[in-house]
Amino acid sequence: MPVPVRYVVRPRSRQISLRMDSARREAVAVLPRARDRKRADALIADKQSWLDQHWQKLPPPMPFVPNGRIMLRGRDIELRHEAGRGTAREADNAFIVPCPDIANFAGRTHRALIAVARQTITARAQHHAAALDTTFSAITVRDTASRWGSCSINGRLNFSWRLICAPDFVLNYVCAHEVAHLLEHNHSPRFWAQVAKRVDDVKTPKHWLRDNSPTLFAIGAEH
């Protein structure tokens, strides 16, 4: 299939540029003006081989379909549809999603994973906050494309729901990292000293995220 392309108009840009966005699984063409669309299309045609190479390097999509497979807590598991209503649950190496109308399975699966992520992340953040003798004002768990977590100046913690798909040591590190920002809103030695109180190994989870982020963004992708 052709590589999906999203056009973005940025008046401050001096020239047309093209890049791959592995998080959204698409190419992004940046145009100084809307009327530069034809020139952008010419650039895309010229760079088609480059786009195809990058597209082929992306991990295969893992759509939310019955009997499909996704990564959850770092493990390859099956998505299983169950007739009726109820709360999604993990059992027998599967994520079981009750859904009266199978046409809504993807949406229910997405919402169920966010709910599981919110519960797990909140518990882990509370644990780290108590250990560091600090508190946060609220937690937001949503789909983010640029950051796995962040901490606002007013004490609100924000996380990507996709962390629930990563191994536990990765989720734990990101939670500890953001909780440490409640005490130090920087990346100074004092900040890393707070992180070290909660996580013995910082490099391994950081490297895992760097190497596996395309796989996390493939979860739920349709193409």
Beta-carbon contacts of 140 under 8 Å, excluding residues fewer than 6 positions away, are 156, 157, 158, 159
pLDDT tens per residue across span 82-96: 999 999 999 999 999
What dihedral angle (degrees, nearest 10) is formed by the CA atoms of 98, 109, 155, 204? 120
The per-residue pLDDT for 1 is 63
pTM of the model: 0.88
Query: Using an 8 Å Cβ cutoff, are 166 and 216 in contact?
Result: yes
Dig out the tokens for 42 from the structure.
């010419």
Residue spans of the domains in the chain: they are 5-57, 69-218
pLDDT tens per residue across span 25-70: 899 999 999 999 999 999 999 999 999 998 888 999 999 999 999 9
Dig out the tokens for 26 from the structure.
């698409």
Q: How many residues does this entry show for the chain? A: 223
Write the CATH number of the domain with boundaries 69-218. 3.30.2010.10
* Separation CA 223–CA 219 (nearest Å): 10
